[in-house]
């Protein structure tokens, strides 16, 4: 078990290599999220027609990401948060819109 952090100074990367690695990882996550957003936007009808299958695939990919988080050096909570946001977005986007009645 890792030792608890005593101050924020321990959490801030000190070596330039660590900062570069963190920036690279953040850029990679941003690129993957942007790519997935473009794919979802371009395939809305397909996702709406097969919502359960798409959600199952996203959940499986997220669960796999949690399993191999040590290899990816990612935080389990971060992977789970991205997975939950993706599942929510698919559910919200694929559901039919309910409009309020106008008078």
Q: What is the pLDDT along the chain (103 residues), one digit of tens a residue?
A: 666 656 655 556 666 777 787 788 888 888 888 888 888 788 888 888 888 999 999 999 999 988 988 887 778 888 898 899 989 888 887 776 656 677 6
Closest CA to 40 of 95, 94, 97: 94
pTM for the predicted model, two decimal places? 0.65
Count of C-beta atoms within a 10 Å radius of residue 37: 12
- Rounded-to-integer distance, Cα 50 and Cα 96, Å: 14
- Rounded-to-integer distance, Cα 87 and Cα 78, Å: 14
Crossing angle, helix 76-94 and helix 51-67, to 10 degrees? 180
| Residues ≥6 apart with Cβ < 8 Å to 29 | 82
Count of C-beta atoms within a 10 Å radius of residue 40: 17
């Amino acid at each position: 078990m890792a030792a608890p952090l005593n101050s924020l100074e321990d959490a801030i990367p000190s070596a330039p290599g660590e900062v570069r690695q963190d920036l690279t990882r953040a850029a990679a996550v941003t690129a993957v999220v942007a790519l997935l957003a473009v794919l979802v936007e371009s395939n809305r009808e397909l996702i709406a027609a097969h919502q359960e299958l798409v959600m199952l695939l996203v959940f499986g990919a997220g669960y796999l990401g949690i399993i191999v988080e040590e290899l990816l050096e990612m935080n389990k909570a971060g992977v789970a948060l991205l997975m939950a946001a993706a599942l929510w977005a698919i559910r919200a986007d694929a559901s039919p819109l309910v409009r309020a009645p106008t008078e």
